[in-house]
Amino acid sequence: MIEFKNVSKTFILGKREINAVQDVSLQVNQGDIFGIIGFSGAGKSTLLRLVNMLERPTEGSIFIRDIDISKLSAKELRKQRSNIGMIFQNFNLLTSRSVSGNIAYPLKVAGYKKAEIKERVAELLAFVGLTDKAKDYPEQLSGGQKQRVGIARALASSPEVLICDEATSALDPDTTQEILKLLKKVNQELGITILLITHEMHVIQSICDKVAVMEDGRVIEKGEVFDVFTSPQHLTTQRFIQSVQQDLPSPSILQDWQATNGGKLYRVIFKGSVAVDPVLSTVTKQYDVGFNIVYGSVQELQERLFGNLIISFVGSEMNKQKVLEELDARVDIKEVKLR
């Protein structure tokens, strides 16, 4: 649906060159909810602005379906743009127009007939759950309601793609979840491909199928959300993931644990349907070794289970060694390096 092929964008500021996007290649398939995450300045907004053609790439090509949008004329661009809806962190609503007026605006500009506009606006209001707010003005709305108007407006021209620049960053956690649910509905019921950028890992975790991590203009890691979450390769990715899932107890608890128990700690990771409990209890029983679960969590990610257990073993050194060898062959187990 959207393909970036070796895309770079360099801004020239006086004598300085800013490489905002560097050699990015990405493929977003039709029907994906594709998330791009990165710290401030990573180049996320620039990448989105290349998709809706507010910026032209310095190098490389961007395809939407099979059209190379980096080569379009101004007139062709305008036509293509209506195929891409966009929502923003600060909503960008017209304060002088009512909710209906805001949603109708892009349709008016595109030259739709009055009756058509009326019908379409009513349909969109119902879709985003704002029928009773049609005549209100933006200043009378909560943040979540404003973003619903933003979404309705972005959908007005029936685009195939919706791009979202930090669409929930200005909202509280509950409202964020409501808006994410609405985006999921946009994707599932209308079949719209969504490309979103965020600096919040929980947004990716909640609704995305695929994720790319950006740093200094480059994509440093990408893949299915489940795979990236369960085995992040890059340090930056690990930091983002730690922001949503603590995978180790706090240092003070670890210190307490070492002072009272001592010994080594191990991390067991299990993914999907592998039930780790029976494996652990069978193997330890066989060698007369006990085990303690010191810490752990089991989470659902993209409708699959992902577990992380921190355990210790009690028994003779020789038997513990045998247990470790046996477990190593059957589950993902590693010693936890304590600082």
Ligand X SMILES: Nc1ncnc2c1ncn2[C@@H]1O[C@H](COP(=O)(O)OP(=O)(O)OP(=O)(O)O)[C@@H](O)[C@H]1O
CB of 52 to ligand X, least distance (A): 13
Out of Mg ion, ligand X, none, which partner does residue 46 contact, by CB within 5 to 8 A per kind?
ligand X
Binds Mg ion by CB under 5 A, chosen from 22, 28, 42, 45: 45
45 binds ligand X, rule: CB under 6 A = yes
CB of 318 to Mg ion, least distance (A): 57
24 binds ligand X, rule: CB under 6 A = no
Give the binding-site size for ligand X (rule: CB under 6 A).
13
Alpha helices in the chain (DSSP H): 44-51, 74-81, 99-109, 114-128, 143-155, 173-190, 201-207, 225-230, 235-242, 251-260, 276-286, 317-330
Strand order in the sheet with 33-38: 84-88, 161-165, 193-198, 33-38, 210-215, 218-224
Cross-strand partners of 334: 267
Judged by CB under 6 A, which stretch of 41-49, 78-86, 185-193, 227-235 contacts ligand X?
41-49
Out of ligand X, Mg ion, none, which partner does residue 11 contact, by CB within 5 to 8 A per kind?
ligand X
144 binds ligand X, rule: CB under 6 A = no
One-letter amino acid at 214 equals: M
CB of 212 to ligand X, least distance (A): 12
DSSP 132: G
Binds ligand X by CB under 6 A, chosen from 6, 11, 109, 286: 11
23 binds ligand X, rule: CB under 6 A = no
CA distance 120 to 111: 13
Binds ligand X by CB under 6 A, chosen from 42, 62, 163, 186: 42
Binds ligand X by CB under 6 A, chosen from 7, 20, 201, 324: 20
46 binds ligand X, rule: CB under 6 A = yes
16 binds ligand X, rule: CB under 6 A = no
Lookup: tokens for 62: 């961007």
One-letter amino acid at 50 equals: L
CA 123, 127, 133, 138 dihedral sign is negative
Judged by CB under 6 A, which stretch of 40-48, 119-127, 141-149, 235-243 contacts ligand X?
40-48
Binds ligand X by CB under 6 A, chosen from 5, 81, 118, 199: 199
260 binds ligand X, rule: CB under 6 A = no
Write phi, then psi, for 62 (nearest 5 degrees).
Answer: -125, 125
CA distance 31 to 15: 42
